[in-house]
């Protein structure tokens, strides 16, 4: 690629960290556009879309023979498992490339450099047909865009599927983008959406050559989008969140990604990095509780002027980038390669399909893998995950136990069995503690295992100092994880450190990116207040009892009975509960949130201004009865779009999972 070297000067690293040896490079955009280049559509799934090919036939069903077809190899490096049908050489190349990009990202981000990272499985396939077998949903509908690769992060499983024959200046850009998210999300989950996506594109457009690596490379497709589509006003861009049309609607999301990248690139590298300090001021203001408008005014001043400056920046014919020495390549001794059996191939394919809910294709592959090789732990592990995702919890536990019998030291399997046992069997089962301790023995920095062990010990109300240590470690490993912060708060409230518990509960609520966690945090804060009030009442009555006892021994027994009555009615602050839960209970309140995923639905109900919100779910919302006495809402209500904001009577049964208050049976809209 042609490049013009600008003045060789020291340039500040991200947010002002000095890197004296980093030269600044200018890249001309003429080399980014040519007759053979394409302009991919950018979607919020991010994002590499290869040119749409004509479909020669209907979607082929995935069967065992299809998964096992051809020769597959597995290349293992310290941080990646590459499974490929493109040959041993390509598998090695992909492993080396991703080890280098991992080093590049971590060296550029000091806050993650010292932390461990999960092993990522990459299914690097040779062509589009192979990718179609892994992502059948993208080919099921004629005219649907076909991704060149996707990154899945689900339940401590990090997996990639990528077509290594995809064209473009950087065929891995989409994967790098999502990998950057996985690296940074545990630390900064609350970044504004435009910053999160802009930084992911900035780092995603990185290219590694033999001697150098370039970060922040200009992206021709994004630039073309910016030059052919009206820009989003910055006052709007800065406030886009995951519910915004600009993040979800096909005709708006492309310009959102493009403009987020351009603004991030400008603030980080534009005008010889003159705006880098302002970017830091903006983020710091937000972290201290400022609103978007306040933070933007403090950091950037006139947004109209900033938008004009951005337009001029987009119109340039060259863009700066950061060049650093290429990370060292792996030694041959750091890579192991083997040819995979049919059972292994089926287990890898079935596991990947299960991760994105393609159960119809995943199930026969995983069952066949287990039948071909009954001692294959990978098949049992992925069967367990499939059962878990389908909420077949008993089958999941059975598969986990089978896998652990084959692979006793697997920390992920141990953790998952502990969690399922804690949720579905008993919170005091000693197997939980054994599994978690074994998991931490092999993986001490396993944040989720530290967190669950803290919750387990706190639930038994024993070894609270030890529980506190585990909770604090989990938070230190993933400082932005709201669930871990909430677990720490639960341990603190068990230790009667109410002010500290409330502070962490508020932090968890502020950092929550998931409505369920946010609701749990709100419930927790309500119960902290109750627990504090109960303790205050107990102390007051104990003081009164002591005073009366000194005056008259005859009054002591009745006071002691009153104190005991308060103690007996104190709430369990680790898990907010409903009173009088039975097989057919009901509450009435305002539906404040509705979330639908496939046939499943979750609703949040607020009973009153002083009460904590309650969370209910339905595995299949189509099996719930809906009624209404008001003329604006009929019995054929569409719950996903029409329930929110209405007052309703909720009839429910006791939920198996403690994450919910109940399973929905009937909803009657009353107002």
Determine the Cα–Cα distance for residues 69 and 132; give it in Å rounded to an integer: 14
Amino acid 584: pLDDT: 52
Please indicate whether residue 442 or residue 39 has the higher confidence score (pLDDT): 442
Angle at 90 between CA 87 and CA 96, to 5 degrees: 140
Spatial CB neighbours of 540, under 8 Å, sequence gap ≥ 6: none
Q: What integer best gives the mean pLDDT of the chain?
A: 78
**pLDDT tens-place string over residues 159-191:** 989 888 875 556 678 778 878 887 777 667 678
Instruction: Please determine, for residue 5, whether its predicted confidence score (pLDDT) is greater than 60.
Output: no
Name the least confident of 241-255, 521-535, 565-579.
Answer: 565-579
Q: Tally the C-alpha atoms within 13 A of residue 602's C-alpha that lie toward its C-beta.
A: 15
10 Å Cβ neighbour count for 391? 12
Determine the Cα–Cα distance for residues 346 and 498; give it in Å rounded to an integer: 51
At 80, give phi and psi (nearest 5°). Answer: -140, 150
Which pair of tokens denotes residue 617? 């779910």
Of all residues in the chain, the percent with pLDDT exceeding 70 is 79
**pLDDT tens-place string over residues 142-161:** 766 677 778 888 877 889 89
Residue 301 CB burial class (10 angstroms; 0-12, 13-18, ≥19): exposed
Determine the Cα–Cα distance for residues 400 and 388; give it in Å rounded to an integer: 10
Of all residues in the chain, the percent with pLDDT exceeding 90 is 34
Instruction: Please determine, for residue 522, whether its predicted confidence score (pLDDT) is greater than 80.
Output: yes
Tell me the pLDDT band of 17, cut-offs 50, 70 and 90: very low
Tell me the pLDDT band of 656, cut-offs 50, 70 and 90: low
Which pair of tokens denotes residue 324? 């650093």
Structural domain 585-669, CATH architecture: Beta Barrel (2.40)
Amino acid 629: pLDDT: 66
Domain with CATH 1.25.40.10 in the chain: 426-577
How do beta strands 11-12 and 4-5 pair? Answer: unpaired
Instruction: Please determine, for residue 555, whether its predicted confidence score (pLDDT) is greater than 80.
Output: no
Question: E strand or H helix at 577, and its extent?
Answer: none
Amino acid 68: pLDDT: 40
10 Å Cβ neighbour count for 525? 19
Task: Give the domain 426-577 fold.
Answer: 1.25.40
Q: In angstroms, how far is CA 186 from the centroid of its own chain?
A: 8
Its pTM surpasses 0.75: no
Amino acid 39: pLDDT: 27
Amino acid 242: pLDDT: 76
**pLDDT tens-place string over residues 430-488:** 999 999 999 999 989 899 999 999 999 988 887 899 999 999 999 988 888 889 999 99
Name the least confident of 120-134, 183-197, 412-426.
Answer: 183-197
Tell me the pLDDT band of 658, cut-offs 50, 70 and 90: low
8-state DSSP, 15? G
Which pair of tokens denotes residue 391? 């909420």
Instruction: Please determine, for residue 619, whether its predicted confidence score (pLDDT) is greater than 50.
Output: yes
Domain with CATH 2.40.50.140 in the chain: 585-669
Question: How many residues in the chain?
Answer: 671
Name the least confident of 202-216, 236-250, 392-406, 629-643.
Answer: 629-643
**pLDDT tens-place string over residues 45-80:** 333 333 323 223 323 333 333 444 469 999 999 999
Helices (H), 27-114: 64-68, 88-108, 110-113
Tell me the pLDDT band of 537, cut-offs 50, 70 and 90: confident
Instruction: Please determine, for residue 412, whether its predicted confidence score (pLDDT) is greater than 80.
Output: yes
Instruction: Please determine, for residue 377, whether its predicted confidence score (pLDDT) is greater than 70.
Output: yes
Amino acid 151: pLDDT: 82
**Which of 465-502 are b and which e, b meaning 16 or more Cβ less than 10 Å from the residue's Cβ?**
eebbbbbbbbbebbbbbbbbbbbbbbbbbbeebbebbb
**pLDDT tens-place string over residues 277-300:** 999 899 888 878 788 899 999 999
Determine the Cα–Cα distance for residues 445 and 440; give it in Å rounded to an integer: 7
Inter-axis angle of helices 250-273 and 220-228, to 10 degrees? 110
Determine the Cα–Cα distance for residues 498 and 539; give it in Å rounded to an integer: 15
Q: Is the peptide bond before 382 cis (omega within 30 degrees of 0)?
A: no
Q: In angstroms, how far is CA 213 from the centroid of its own chain?
A: 28
Name the least confident of 16-20, 106-110, 499-503, 515-519.
Answer: 16-20
At 222, give phi and psi (nearest 5°). Answer: -65, -40
Q: What is the mean pLDDT of residues 301-305?
A: 93
Amino acid 557: pLDDT: 45
Amino acid 655: pLDDT: 60
Instruction: Please determine, for residue 254, whether its predicted confidence score (pLDDT) is greater than 80.
Output: yes
Question: E strand or H helix at 25, and its extent?
Answer: strand 24-28
**pLDDT tens-place string over residues 76-96:** 999 999 999 999 999 998 999
Amino acid 9: pLDDT: 26
């Amino acid at each position: 690629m042609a490049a013009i070297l600008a003045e060789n000067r020291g340039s500040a690293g991200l947010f002002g960290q000095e890197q004296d040896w980093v030269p600044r490079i200018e890249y001309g955009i003429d080399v980014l556009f040519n007759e053979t280049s394409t302009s991919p559509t950018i979607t919020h799934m991010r994002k590499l879309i290869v040119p749409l090919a004509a479909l020669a036939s209907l979607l082929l069903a995935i069967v065992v023979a299809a998964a096992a077809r051809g020769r597959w190899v597995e290349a293992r490096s310290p941080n990646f498992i590459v499974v490929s049908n493109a040959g041993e050489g390509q598998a090695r190349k992909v492993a080396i490339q991703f080890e280098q990009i991992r080093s590049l990202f971590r060296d550029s981000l000091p806050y993650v450099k010292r932390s461990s990272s999960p092993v990522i499985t990459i299914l690097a396939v040779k062509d589009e047909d192979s990718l179609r077998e892994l992502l059948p949903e993208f080919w099921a509908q004629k005219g649907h865009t076909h991704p060149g690769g996707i990154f899945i992060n689900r339940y401590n499983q990090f997996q990639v599927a990528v077509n290594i024959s995809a064209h473009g200046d950087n065929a891995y850009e989409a994967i790098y983008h999502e990998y950057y998210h996985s690296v940074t999300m545990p630390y900064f989950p609350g970044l504004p959406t435009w910053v999160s996506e802009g930084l992911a594109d900035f780092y995603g457009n990185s290219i590694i050559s033999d001697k150098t690596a370039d970060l922040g490379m200009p992206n021709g497709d994004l630039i073309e989008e910016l030059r052919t589509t009206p820009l989003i006003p910055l006052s709007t861009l800065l406030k886009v969140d995951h519910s915004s049309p600009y993040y979800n609607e096909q005709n708006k999301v492309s310009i959102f990604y493009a403009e987020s990248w351009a603004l991030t690139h400008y603030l980080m590298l534009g005008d010889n990095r003159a705006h880098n300090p302002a970017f830091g001021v903006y983020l710091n203001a937000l972290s201290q509780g400022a609103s978007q408008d306040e933070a933007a005014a403090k950091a950037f001043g006139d947004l109209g002027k900033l938008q004009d400056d951005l337009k001029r920046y987009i119109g340039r014919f060259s863009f700066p980038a950061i060049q650093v020495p290429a990370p060292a390549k792996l030694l041959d001794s750091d890579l192991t390669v083997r040819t995979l059996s049919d059972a292994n191939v089926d287990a890898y394919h079935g596991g990947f399909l299960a991760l994105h809910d393609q159960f119809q294709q995943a199930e026969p592959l995983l069952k066949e893998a287990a039948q071909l090789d009954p001692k294959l732990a990978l098949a049992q592990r992925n069967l367990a995950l499939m059962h878990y995702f389908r909420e077949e919890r008993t089958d999941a536990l059975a598969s986990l136990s089978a896998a652990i019998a084959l692979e006793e030291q697997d920390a992920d399997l141990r953790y998952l069995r502990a969690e399922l046992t804690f949720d579905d069997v008993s919170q005091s089962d000693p197997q939980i503690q054994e599994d978690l301790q074994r998991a931490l023995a092999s993986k001490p920095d396993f944040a989720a295992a530290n967190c669950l062990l803290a919750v387990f010990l706190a639930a038994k109300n024993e070894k609270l100092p030890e529980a506190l240590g585990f909770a604090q470690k989990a938070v230190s490993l993933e400082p932005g994880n709201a669930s871990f912060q909430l677990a720490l708060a639960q341990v603190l409230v068990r230790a009667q450190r109410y002010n500290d518990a409330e502070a962490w509960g508020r932090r968890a609520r502020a950092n929550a990116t998931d409505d369920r966690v946010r609701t749990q945090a709100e419930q927790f804060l309500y119960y902290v207040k109750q627990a504090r009030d109960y303790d205050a009442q107990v102390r007051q009555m104990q003081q009164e009892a002591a005073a009366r006892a000194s005056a008259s021994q005859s009054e002591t027994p009745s006071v002691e009975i009153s104190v005991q009555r308060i103690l007996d009615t104190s709430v369990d602050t680790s898990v907010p509960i409903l009173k009088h839960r039975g097989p057919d209970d009901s509450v009435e309140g305002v539906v404040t949130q509705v979330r639908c995923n496939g046939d499943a639905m979750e609703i949040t109900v607020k009973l009153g201004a002083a009460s904590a919100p309650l969370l209910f779910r339905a595995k299949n919302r189509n099996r719930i009865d809906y009624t209404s006495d008001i003329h604006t809402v009929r019995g054929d209500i569409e719950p996903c779009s029409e329930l929110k904001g209405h007052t309703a009577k909720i009839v429910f049964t006791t939920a198996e999972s403690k994450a919910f208050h109940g399973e929905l049976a009937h909803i009657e809209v009353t107002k």
